[in-house]
C-alpha cells in the first residue's frame, strides 16, 4: 500500500480488501476475536456464547430484480450470523439518507426490511438515522448489525477445514451480481435473472440439527465463491480442490458472463452458502439441504486436501487443472 489513496479495489472483497484488513485494521485493533476473520465474532458472556456481526450496504441500484437494499441489508447480517452457526435474534439498522431522497422509496425499503426480518425470525430493535446534504451520499446506505446465540454444541470457523472434508455449495452462483448487472446496464435479457437474496438461518439450523460434522460455513458474497474458498484455504492452512463441472451456474448467468467477460466464480451471491463438512456426513447434509427450497440445487463441488496449503485448485471443463486465485481488482463496485 505505497499509494496513499484508497482504491475501489479496496472494497472488492478480494485481494486488496484482504490486504487492507490484514495490514492496516487488524494490527491496530489487535484482538483475538477480530483476528479470526470469520463472518462475525463469537464470544462468551456469562453462560452463553454469542455471535455479533456488522455489514454496510451501498448497493446500486437500490431496487433490483428480486429485491431491494432493505431485504439485502437484513438478509446479509442474518446470514453472517448464521455462518457463525448462531441463531440470529436481534438486529440494528443505521440509515444514511441523502437529502431529497424519496420518502415513498424509503417506506418501500423499510417495509422490505420488516418482511425479511419476519421471514428470518429476527427483530429490528434499535436504529439510527442520519441525513446528509445533496451530493454527500448517493441516495441511501444502510448498516445492519446483529446478535445471535450460538448453540452449545456448535463450533464453526473458517479455520476448521480439514483434509478429507467435502465442500458443498447450496445452489447456483452469481445470480445476485448478474441481476444487478442487467438492471444497472439496462440490458434487454429475455430470461429474467433475479437476485438470490434470502436468509439462510433456517437452512443452517436444519444442517446443524442433522450433523455435528459441519466445520465451516461461509456465504460467498463480495468476491464470490472463488474468493471465499481462498479465504477458507488460508484460514485453515489447507488446500482446496474443486471441479468446475460440478459448480452450479444458471445458463442465463453463464450467458451474461460470457457476453460481458465476467467469471461467475467471482460474482457476489446473497442467498447461498458454502459448507465444509466431514466426509462421512456429506451425503446426509446434502440431502437435508436439497429438501429445503433454499438448498434444492445444492451439490458437492470438491474437497479439502493437504496439498498446496492456502490455495484453491480447480479441475476445469476441458480436463486440466488451474489455481483459482482471490478476486484481484473489482468487477462490480457497489454490488451489495
Query: CB burial class (10 A; 0-12, 13-18, 19+) of residue 321?
Result: exposed
Question: Cα–Cα distance between 116 and 195 in angstroms, integer?
Answer: 14
- The residues, ordered by sequence, that sit 6+ positions from 26 with a Cβ below 8 Å of its Cβ are 34, 35, 37
Q: Which residues pair with 323 in a beta bridge?
A: 313
Among 69, 73, 113, 249, binds a second copy (CB under 8 A): 113
Q: Are residues 270 and 336 in contact, defined by beta-carbon separation less than 8 angstroms?
A: yes
308 binds a second copy (CB under 8 A): no
The sign one gets for the Cα dihedral 298, 300, 306, 311 is negative
Q: Cβ 265 to a second copy, closest distance in Å? A: 21
Q: Which stretch binds a second copy (CB under 8 A): 34-42, 157-165, 274-282, 290-298?
A: 34-42
127 binds a second copy (CB under 8 A): yes
Q: Which stretch binds a second copy (CB under 8 A): 117-125, 166-174, 197-205, 244-252?
A: 117-125
Number of residues that bind a second copy (CB under 8 A): 82
DSSP for 157-189, written as a single string = -TT---TT-EEEE-S-SSHHHHHHHHHHHT---
34 binds a second copy (CB under 8 A): yes
7 binds a second copy (CB under 8 A): yes
329 binds a second copy (CB under 8 A): no
The residue whose grid cell reads 455449495 is 169
21 binds a second copy (CB under 8 A): yes
Q: Cβ 289 to a second copy, closest distance in Å? A: 27
Helix intervals (H) in 163-270: 175-185, 201-210, 224-236, 251-260
C-alpha cell at 120: 428470518
Interface pattern 59-98 for a second copy (x via CB under 8 A): -x----------------------------xx-xxxxxxx
Q: By C-beta, is 46 or 320 nearer to a second copy?
A: 46
- Near a second copy in 247-286, by CB under 8 A: none
- Near a second copy in 158-197, by CB under 8 A: none
Amino acid at each position: 500500500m505505497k499509494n496513499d489513496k484508497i482504491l475501489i479495489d479496496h472494497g472488492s472483497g478480494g485481494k486488496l480488501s484482504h490486504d487492507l484488513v490484514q495490514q492496516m485494521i487488524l494490527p491496530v485493533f489487535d484482538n483475538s476475536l477480530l483476528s479470526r476473520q470469520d463472518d462475525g465474532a463469537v464470544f462468551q458472556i456469562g453462560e452463553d456464547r454469542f455471535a455479533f456481526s456488522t455489514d454496510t450496504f451501498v448497493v446500486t441500484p437500490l431496487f433490483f430484480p428480486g429485491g431491494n437494499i432493505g431485504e439485502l441489508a437484513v438478509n446479509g447480517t442474518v446470514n453472517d450470523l448464521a455462518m457463525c452457526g448462531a441463531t440470529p435474534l436481534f438486529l440494528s439498522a443505521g440509515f444514511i439518507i441523502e437529502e431529497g431522497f424519496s420518502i415513498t422509496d424509503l417506506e418501500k425499503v423499510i417495509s422490505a426490511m420488516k418482511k425479511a426480518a419476519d421471514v428470518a425470525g429476527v427483530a429490528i430493535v434499535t436504529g439510527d438515522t442520519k441525513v446528509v446534504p445533496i451530493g454527500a451520499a448517493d441516495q441511501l446506505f444502510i448498516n445492519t448489525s446483529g446478535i445471535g446465540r450460538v448453540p452449545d454444541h456448535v463450533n464453526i470457523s473458517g479455520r476448521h477445514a480439514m483434509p478429507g472434508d467435502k465442500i458443498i455449495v447450496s445452489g447456483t452462483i452469481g445470480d445476485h451480481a448478474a441481476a444487478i448487472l442487467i438492471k444497472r446496464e439496462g440490458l434487454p435479457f429475455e430470461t429474467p435473472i433475479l437476485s438470490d437474496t434470502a436468509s439462510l438461518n433456517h437452512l443452517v439450523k436444519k444442517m446443524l440439527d442433522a450433523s455435528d460434522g459441519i466445520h465451516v460455513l461461509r456465504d460467498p458474497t463480495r468476491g464470490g465463491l472463488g474468493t471465499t474458498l481462498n479465504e477458507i484455504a488460508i484460514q485453515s492452512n489447507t488446500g482446496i480442490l474443486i471441479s468446475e463441472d460440478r459448480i452450479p451456474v444458471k445458463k442465463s448467468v453463464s450467458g451474461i458472463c460470457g457476453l460481458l467477460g465476467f467469471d461467475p466464480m467471482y460474482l457476489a451471491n446473497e442467498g447461498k452458502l458454502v459448507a465444509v463438512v466431514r466426509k462421512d456426513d456429506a451425503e446426509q447434509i446434502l440431502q437435508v439441504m436439497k429438501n429445503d427450497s433454499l438448498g434444492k440445487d445444492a451439490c458437492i463441488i470438491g474437497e479439502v486436501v493437504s496439498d498446496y496449503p492456502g490455495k484453491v485448485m480447480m479441475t476445469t471443463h476441458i480436463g486440466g487443472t488451474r489455481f483459482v486465485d482471490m478476486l484481484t481488482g473489482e468487477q462490480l463496485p457497489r454490488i451489495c
